[in-house]
């Protein structure tokens, strides 16, 4: 083979390799990234309420500059609760108020469940996120006479986060929106507590 032919062959091989590298890098970015929402959310795992991610500016307090959402909506307060189902099922409880509230459950691959306050029963919205095994256990332990108002969601992955969004339609509601995000509780449903409850 003459030198030019070899060079062309090498270029062609390089282009094919570039395509493979491109695909591999794009697929690997979500798991390697340290600036993605899941990695940043992990710091909130120890909290028992939603960690504010984007706090709305109110009359005296401007919006924090360290907020990590790239282009946030200036009238929607955002909070986040990270979960790790290895510790037990995650219970997210929100009281609905005058402001529109939505909860979205994100896994590593994206959001797999979302619900707004219109689904609330008597002003309360209770989500329980569990693995398939925990779900089966909860079904087995369930008392048939005891009506549960929980919305049970089976997660395919152990790690993820719940996003709370509260819309402040008017600037005067921003304070209330910030408080509504903080008021959402994210706790680990411990099985012992449930057992004690059903026993007593």
Partner 1 sequence: MSTTDHPARSGAMPDIAGVAGRGGRAFRAVLRRTSHVGLVFYTLALGAGLGLATADYATRGGYPFGGVSVGSWIAWPRTGSLGADPYARAVNARRGEIPLAVGEGLLLTASQDNQGRTLTAGCTYVIAGATPPARAWTLTVAGRGKRDPERPVLREGFTSTEVLRDADGRFSIVLASDVQPGNWLPMPRATGPVRLALRLYDTPVAASAGTVERSAVPTISRTECAE
Distances (CA, A) of 68 to 72, 86, 128, 153: 9, 27, 27, 27
Torsions phi, psi of 135, nearest 5?
A: -65, -45
Pick the closer one to partner 1 by CB: 53 or 94: 53
- Both tokens of 123, joined, read 């002003």
29-68 footprint of partner 1 as x/- string (CB under 8 A): xx--x-xxx--x------------x--------------x
- Both tokens of 92, joined, read 């997210």
- Both tokens of 77, joined, read 């307060």
Least CB distance from residue 129 to partner 1, whole Å?
14
Pick the closer one to partner 1 by CB: 88 or 128: 128
Residue indicated by tokens 């992955």: 157
Residue indicated by tokens 């340290």: 34
Residue indicated by tokens 């797999």: 112
By CB under 8 A, tell whether 167 contacts partner 1.
yes
Applying CB under 8 A, the span of 5-13, 88-96, 129-137, 183-191 interacting with partner 1 comes to 5-13
For partner 1, the binding residues (CB under 8 A) are 3-4, 6-7, 10-11, 13-22, 24-27, 29-30, 33, 35-37, 40, 53, 68-71, 73-76, 78, 80, 100, 102, 104, 106-107, 109-116, 118, 163, 165, 167-171
């Amino acid at each position: 083979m003459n030198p030019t032919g070899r060079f062309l062959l090498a270029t062609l091989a390089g282009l094919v390799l570039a395509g493979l590298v491109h695909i591999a890098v794009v697929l690997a970015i979500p798991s390697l990234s340290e600036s993605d929402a899941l990695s940043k959310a992990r710091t909130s795992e120890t909290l028992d309420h939603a960690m504010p991610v984007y706090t709305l500016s109110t009359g005296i307090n401007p919006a924090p500059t360290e907020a990590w959402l790239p282009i946030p909506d200036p009238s929607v307060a955002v909070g986040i609760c990270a979960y790790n189902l290895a510790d037990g099922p995650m219970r997210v409880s929100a009281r609905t108020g005058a402001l529109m509230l939505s909860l979205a459950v994100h896994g590593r691959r994206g959001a797999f469940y979302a619900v707004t306050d219109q689904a609330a029963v008597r002003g309360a919205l209770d989500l329980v996120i569990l693995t398939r095994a925990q779900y089966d256990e909860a079904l087995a332990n369930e008392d048939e006479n005891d009506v549960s108002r929980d919305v049970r969601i089976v997660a395919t992955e152990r790690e993820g986060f719940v996003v709370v969004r509260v819309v402040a339609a008017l600037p005067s509601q921003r304070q209330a929106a910030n408080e509504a995000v903080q008021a959402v509780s994210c706790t680990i449903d411990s099985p012992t507590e449930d057992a004690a409850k059903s026993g007593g």
